[in-house]
Chains A and B, each alone.
Chain A
Amino acid sequence: MAYTLLGKDFTPPDIRAKVTGEAKYAEDFRVDGMVFARLLTSPMPHARVRSIDASEALAMHGVIGILTADDVPAKASPQQTILTNEPVFVGDPILAVAAESETIAQDAIDKIKIDFELLPFCVDPLESLYPGGPNARTEGNSVTLNFGQPIPPEVNEKKWTARDFAAVEEGHLPTGEPTVQWEYGDLDTGFEDAALVLEESFVVASNSHHSMEPRSALSYWENGKCHVFGSLQSQSFAMNTLSGLIGIPPEDIVFVAEFCGGGFGSKGNPYPSMVIPAHFSKKINRPVMLRISRAEEYYLGHARSGFQGRTKIGFREDGKVTSIDLYLVQENGSATGFPDINGFSEGASLVYTPEAMRLRGIFVSTNTPPRLAQRGPGQNQMAVTFEPLMDRAAKELSIDRLAIRQINAPTGDALVGAGREPVTSAHPREALAKGAEQFNWVERVKNDGQRNGSKVRSVAVATAFHPAGFNGFDGLVVITPDGKLNVHTGVGNLGTYSYASTSRVAAEVLKYDWENCVIHRGDSRKHLPFNIGQFGSNTSFTMTRTNFVAATDAMDKIKEIAAMDMGGDPEDYDIGEEKVFSISDPTQSMTYAEVAQRAIELGGKYSGIEGPEDINPITKGGLAGIAGTGLVGVAKDKLEKHGLVPAFCAGFIDIELDTETGKYEILDYLGVVDCGTVLHPQSLATQIKGGAVMGFGMAATEKLVYDPQSGLPANVGLYQAKPPSYLDVPSTMGWAAVDEPDPQNPVGAKGVGEPVMGGGAASLICAISNALDGHYFMRNPITPDMIVNAAAGRPQSYKPLQVNNQ
């Protein structure tokens, strides 16, 4: 379908502020009387606070107050606390001090005497599962997340038997009693029929999000309302969580999140440290700024879950996967965590379409940062684990590496996971085919293995997947008498510009000139509808739907007003050039400005005085704010959607690896995506390339490291934790899109922010393995020492299944 606005580049309205420095992130706001808070965080991985003596600190000139766990709402274990007397990770906040200056606050923190009792701790899930092994929390070591359910998470003690550990072959994962499991199909028959069965144990490292903006926050109270300035990927979606964390109704909270300096899943929903200033400000009656340092960001800024796992995969002669048996031990950190096991296992069931599959898994707590979603949570760990296995199978079965992916790739009739859920559309085969052509796969493969001294050329391909859309949220637009289309959007601003590209759907429906449209966002006072946040690759699918239904509602009302004023029925009218006109006599018309004025006079549903019953209370609040200002379009997204919305990326890579140094250069990278209709080509390009950059870090440099003796973290600076720099990635990369519309989205759009990382990560891992003539490490990141050892045939420095401490 030809669109006027969609699929075209445009200048997003917030970008100017980003290049002038006017963009205000949380730490850029200033309030009169603002004071600073500093945190006292746990120096131990797991401890009990026996006593706190803050007398000397509180006597210091300039110190205003102290906030302890007694001053904030308690959280039931295993939920992450705001402040705690039983810290469960190094860096867990115990208390905060506010002072006239941050220096004084820090000096006061240093005067506080705390008597800690060190408790048992654990930084390796398998150690915790061992009979008599340490529990990360006093209540236990395994969390039942109850994700997406109205019941809170629970933590229990789970231990495997000594027999479980003794029975396993050397180097393999023991498979004791799981806490989650599902199965479909006939697993055994699949393995019996297979021409090749691979069985491997593996490790996927945990790694930090490294958002460039630390999660600083500012709060103050005014006229009974709590103002929160925070760094978040969400706007309206945050209100209910904030309400719970602060302990006041959502309508008493003003939340400002105009810009978010990177989140990648770690700032999806309000997090405990964000509300420390809110509680502190209430206690001392002063605005409180809490700046989070880079080291603190590594402590409390969350991380991706790692895995110790084991899988058995059967392949037919032609490469088709028959059965997958998967066991996952998820390192779930110190709090509730995130169900990466689901993403991993469901991802495998879709990307390789096995006829039978079994998942068994267990979430194990460790005294390391609380885990949260990180870009492709589960799906991207799956990609870096399974894609090298596809290469190995291709090699053993003498099949082309592209072909084995093609034969296993899902189509639109694929089913996902144990529930055999359908998908809305799936075009990974087209992405692979398009990429193969653009990358010149057939010719490039001929260079594979070419040697230049100690350097080896290697090309590789990998696929990745993530769900990419939700439904059921609200849209809100208003045409004001100045003729402008005001799109109110309650989604966050993560930096993908999709808040803007999805708002353009409203303009497209109403045939608006984009110059006459205004987006309202970033501040709960701006009368915003209830929308989900910018995570889970969902915005492009979810928000095109909300803006479509709101604009459609506006169009219906425009035509009704035209019929009222000019005669006939609404169906006798059409729109164009920001007018509504009679189809039979186009000279009979009203401008949108005139219609907006009439809507105000008519009132009722036309000006938003009345609204639909089924919209969210937050949307009703937003509607009440704009009611009477123009012609209002407001609706809940009740469009058809059945099944999972999948997005895919095929990553193609060409590297030159030096087997003597373990270093490599990425010569070329191409990412090809299936994201439905392309809304904003330029932004899609930066997502594909930027996602790949993040993937290269996951593949080759980033991991958490802990001292197993003390539980102390080693990676608390960027130079230690190693996100990729300019010099680690190609200076130019390629991109393409299948551009096949999704039938369950009114404009055919799907998201794609997460698979683009998996495509980069998995393709690099495959390329390194391929350069070493098929040495599959079954572990990430693959660091230069691992490469050198593998190339020289020397043993590796790590033990099988060892995590977090090498």
Chain B
Amino acid sequence: MNEGNSMTDLTTMMVSEAMVSKQTSVCGLAPPNMSRREFIKGVIASGAVASAGVFMLAGCSDNSSSGNVAVPATGNFERMITLNINGRDRVVDVLPNETLAMTLRYKLGLTGTKLGCDRGECGACTININDVQQYSCSTLTHTARGRAITTVEGLQGVNGELHTIQQAFIDELGPQCGFCTPGQIMSTVSLLKSNPDPTREEARMALSGNLCRCGAYDHYLNSVMRAAGEV
């Protein structure tokens, strides 16, 4: 989103068919670190477009628009978009208010990305966009166009060999219940891209957006440090 746009501007832009092409290109160029405020603005704005989809889930919807939810929005928003996921271009039908976590899990079958809170609190849905860790539950799919999305499924080699980080998480018995593990691993992937030789304290900060109720933090950090030594 353009920093200078007010919410009203965005809403106007979203509902105006004449502006559709401009809006989608704006989405495609959104900066990698979108603020929470911008995300909310995007959801509010996009909710003004009545639409439906097979796997759109609650929490993403604007209930006020539900009078004719089954009538697909036509012509006013580009839905068939191309996403670059794990090095491959995937064409996918995406609603304007759809989060990347939902697109990955329910449109593309990539269920390694977990939903623990759907509110940007727990980090189970962490993926990388252009090598930067992001909460996919709080990222509108349209904003990820034209950027490289990496999920936990994209880490293994062509013959299924484990990524060094995945192997390190096994060797240090990082996971307990395992539900937060893909998110922890994706935060580690991002960390080691930008800082291949982190201190334990730097690793702790980098992963602090990933909650683990099993409390496996110590073993996760052991995993990160082992991976850092081997990457």
Contact = CB atoms under 8 A, between A and B. Distances in A.
Interface of A: 9, 11, 14-25, 27-28, 30, 36, 38, 60-62, 100-107, 110, 209-214, 259-264, 291, 293-294, 494-497, 682-683, 685-686, 689-694, 717-719, 723-727, 729-733
Nearest to B175: A18
A9 B169 CA distance: 14
24 contacts: A19-B175, A20-B112, A25-B179, A61-B69, A100-B70, A101-B56, A102-B55, A103-B58, A103-B66, A212-B213, A213-B177, A259-B178, A262-B179, A291-B115, A293-B58, A497-B173, A690-B216, A690-B217, A717-B119, A726-B204, A727-B205, A729-B217, A732-B200, A732-B221
Given A103-B58, A259-B178, A261-B177, A294 B215 contact: no
A405 B201 CA distance: 35
Interface in B145-170: 151-153, 155-156, 162, 166, 169-170
Given A61-B70, A291-B57, A15 B215 contact: no
Given A20-B153, A28-B111, A724-B215, A262 B181 contact: no
Contact of B214 (A16, A294, A690, A729): A690
Contacts of B215: 689-694, 724, 729
A213 B114 contact: yes
A11 B110 CA distance: 25
Given A212-B180, A293-B118, A731-B218, A21 B212 contact: no
A212 B116 contact: yes
A503 B112 CA distance: 27
A717 B218 contact: no
A23 B114 CA distance: 11
Contacts of A38: 58
A785 B218 CA distance: 28
B57 A20 contact: no
Contacts of A61: 68-70
Contacts of B17: none
A211 B63 CA distance: 29
Given A20-B153, A103-B61, A727-B208, A686 B219 contact: yes
B185 interface: yes
A680 B59 CA distance: 42
B217 A62 contact: no
A692 B153 CA distance: 32
B107 to A, nearest CB: 11
Contacts of B175: 15, 18-19, 495
B204 A727 contact: yes
Interface of B: 52-61, 63, 66, 68-70, 105, 109-119, 121-122, 124, 151-153, 155-156, 162, 166, 169-170, 173-182, 185, 200-201, 204-205, 207-208, 210-219, 221
Contacts of B58: 38, 102-103, 105-106, 293
Contacts of A259: 177-179
Contacts of A261: 114, 116, 177-179
Contacts of A213: 114, 116, 177, 179
**Majority secondary structure of chain A interface residues (helix, strand, loop or mixed):** loop
Contact of B212 (A18, A105, A212, A293): A212
A294 B124 CA distance: 12
Contact of B57 (A103, A682, A723): A103
B116 A686 contact: no
A494 B59 contact: no
A212 B59 contact: no
Given A262-B214, A718-B122, A101 B54 contact: yes
A106 B54 CA distance: 14
Contact of A211 (B110, B115, B213): B213
B213 A210 contact: yes
B177 A103 contact: no
Nearest to B173: A682
B216 A21 contact: no
A214 B116 contact: yes
B207 A726 contact: yes
A718 B218 contact: no
Nearest to A735: B218
Contacts of A36: 55, 57
Given A19-B174, A727-B205, 4 more contacts: A25-B179, A261-B177, A686-B214, A718-B211
B211 A686 contact: no
Contact of B61 (A11, A107, A718): A107
B153 to A, nearest CB: 5
Contacts of B119: 294, 717-718
Nearest to B167: A19
Contacts of B204: 726-727, 731
B169 A19 contact: yes
Contacts of A693: 215, 217
B53 A264 contact: no
B208 A101 contact: no
Contacts of B162: 16, 19-20
Nearest to B206: A726
A545 B140 CA distance: 52
Contact of B110 (A21, A25, A262, A263): A21
Contacts of A11: 170
B124 A689 contact: no
Nearest to A108: B66
Nearest to A36: B57
Given A15-B175, A101-B54, A718-B121, A62 B116 contact: no
A495 B178 CA distance: 7
A30 B55 CA distance: 11
B216 A726 contact: no
B211 A723 contact: yes
Given A685-B219, A724-B215, A731-B201, A260 B177 contact: yes
Q: Identify the interface centre among B166, B217, B221: most chain A CB within 10 Å of its CB.
A: B217
Contact of A104 (B69, B118, B201, B208): B69
A416 to B, nearest CB: 28
A19 B109 contact: no
A717 to B, nearest CB: 6
Contacts of A294: 116-119, 121-122
Contacts of B109: 30
The 10 closest A-B pairs by CB, nearest first: A21-B112, A693-B215, A261-B179, A495-B177, A18-B178, A690-B215, A107-B66, A106-B58, A61-B70, A21-B152
Contacts of B181: 18-19
B108 to A, nearest CB: 12
A432 B58 CA distance: 51
A102 B56 contact: yes
Contact of A731 (B52, B60, B114, B217): B217
B61 A106 contact: yes
B131 to A, nearest CB: 18
A725 B211 contact: yes
A100 B54 contact: yes
A414 B214 CA distance: 32
B214 A683 contact: no
A683 B24 CA distance: 49
Nearest to B66: A107
B122 A19 contact: no
A349 B223 CA distance: 41
B148 to A, nearest CB: 18
A35 to B, nearest CB: 10
B94 to A, nearest CB: 14
A19 B181 CA distance: 6
B112 to A, nearest CB: 2
B117 A104 contact: no
B51 to A, nearest CB: 9
A26 to B, nearest CB: 11
A52 B140 CA distance: 36
- A15, A293, A496, A692 — most chain B CB neighbours (10 Å): A15
Most buried by B among A212, A263, A264, A291: A212
A297 to B, nearest CB: 9
Contact of A22 (B112, B177, B208, B210): B112
Contacts of A19: 152, 162, 166, 169-170, 174-175, 181-182, 185
